[in-house]
């Protein structure tokens, strides 16, 4: 049984440093988000689970409209307010299960590494559909249990993969949760992005433990993992950038939002197994 992670406890101290992305990687994400969004501008964007505001200012720059960064952790929000301020971005207290916005307010909603933290997805799905305008898009960047990548750090922390398989939902679980409220899958893409300039930079960031999976491990196994990492990198220093494969699932709201689709009823859209992984 996995622990529930409260970002007010520790992650807020390290997240912005440990998970910072270079500007060109953020720009590549913005281009990918724009490719899957309505083409008109401006768009109103909800960055749901906005954390330290890693993407919120760039979303404002890309889509030209107001951006709402909704985040339950007061301390993550505090970091965002001080280090990721932007005139078009408002950071608001809230959560996926209770979004402080009126119906139909958003053209685009981003859930970036958030869906596995949502405790009550059946309550969150209609709330997300409620604030999304018809024709709006939901972009879900996450790892999915049925499409596990093979990140470098798993080599040193053998239990990480097991934890992640339990932590992350499958694509079908997510698609089903949103199909019930009229959101249908539009695409599933896979993107390779640069995490760190080289192994030394990667190791330094990993040491910050700005990944909630570490909070599911014992201090002993963490210490053993870092010792294995140090030995491995001393034997094979390497200079190549460290990259990772990232999935992005795109869902679209058509017609009347919030409609409950009952089991067995067709609501259009491609079933998950027909989604293109290369799109």
Ligand X SMILES: C[S@@+](CC[C@H](N)C(=O)[O-])C[C@H]1O[C@@H](n2cnc3c(N)ncnc32)[C@H](O)[C@@H]1O
SS3 242: strand
For the bound state, the minimum distance from the C-beta of residue 124 to ligand X, rounded and expressed in Å, comes to 7
Nearest by Cα to 146 from 272, 268, 2, 36: 272
Q: Which parts of 160-219 interact with ligand X (CB under 6 A)?
A: none
Q: Per-residue x/- marks for ligand X, 223-242, CB under 6 A?
A: --------------------
For the bound state, the minimum distance from the C-beta of residue 235 to ligand X, rounded and expressed in Å, comes to 31
Q: Which of 36, 75, 117, 209 binds ligand X (CB under 6 A)?
A: 117
CB-based contacts of 274, cutoff 8 Å, min separation 6:
none
Which residue, 37 or 212, has its beta carbon nearer to ligand X?
A: 212
Which residue, 36 or 54, has its beta carbon nearer to ligand X?
A: 54
Which residue, 14 or 152, has its beta carbon nearer to ligand X?
A: 14
Q: Per-residue x/- marks for ligand X, 70-99, CB under 6 A?
A: -xxx--x------------------xxx--
For the bound state, the minimum distance from the C-beta of residue 80 to ligand X, rounded and expressed in Å, comes to 9
Give the 3-state secondary structure of 163-205.
Answer: HHHHHCCCHHHHHHHHHCCCEEEEEEEEEEEEEECCHHHHHHH
Integer-rounded Cα radius of gyration of the chain: 19
Across 48-60, b (16+ Cβ under 10 Å) vs e yields: bbbbbbbbbbbbb
Full strand arrangement of the beta sheet holding 106-112 = 89-93, 64-71, 43-48, 106-112, 132-142, 242-253, 183-196
117-125, 129-137, 195-203, 236-244 -> range binding ligand X (CB under 6 A): 117-125
Binding site for ligand X (CB under 6 A): 7, 19, 48-51, 54, 71-73, 76, 95-97, 112-114, 117-119
């Amino acid at each position: 049984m996995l622990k529930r992670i409260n970002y007010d406890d520790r992650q807020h101290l390290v997240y912005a440093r440990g998970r910072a992305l270079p500007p060109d990687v953020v720009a590549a994400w913005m281009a990918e988000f724009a490719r899957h969004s309505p083409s008109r501008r401006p768009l109103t964007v909800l960055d749901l689970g906005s954390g330290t505001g890693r993407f919120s200012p760039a979303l404002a720059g890309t889509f030209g409209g107001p951006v709402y960064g909704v985040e339950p952790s007061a301390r993550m929000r505090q970091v965002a307010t001080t280090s990721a301020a932007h005139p078009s971005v408002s950071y608001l207290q809230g959560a996926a299960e209770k979004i402080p916005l009126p119906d139909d307010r958003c053209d685009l909603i981003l859930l970036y590494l958030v869906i596995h933290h949502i405790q009550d997805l059946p309550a969150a799905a209609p709330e997300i559909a409620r604030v999304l305008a018809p024709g709006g898009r939901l972009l879900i960047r996450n790892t999915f249990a049925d499409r596990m990548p093979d990140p470098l750090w798993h080599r040193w922390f053998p239990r990480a993969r097991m934890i992640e398989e339990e932590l992350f939902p499958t694509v079908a679980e997510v698609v089903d949760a949103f199909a019930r409220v009229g959101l249908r899958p539009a695409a599933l893409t896979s993107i390779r992005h640069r995490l760190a300039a080289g192994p030394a930079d990667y190791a330094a960031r990993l040491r910050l433990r700005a990944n909630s999976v570490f909070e599911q491990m014992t201090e002993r196994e963490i210490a053993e993992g870092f010792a294995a990492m140090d030995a491995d990198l001393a034997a094979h220093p390497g200079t190549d950038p460290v990259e990772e494969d990232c999935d992005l699932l795109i869902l679209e709201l058509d017609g009347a939002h919030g409609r409950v689709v009952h089991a067995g009823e067709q609501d259009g859209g491609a079933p998950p197994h027909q989604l293109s992984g290369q799109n």
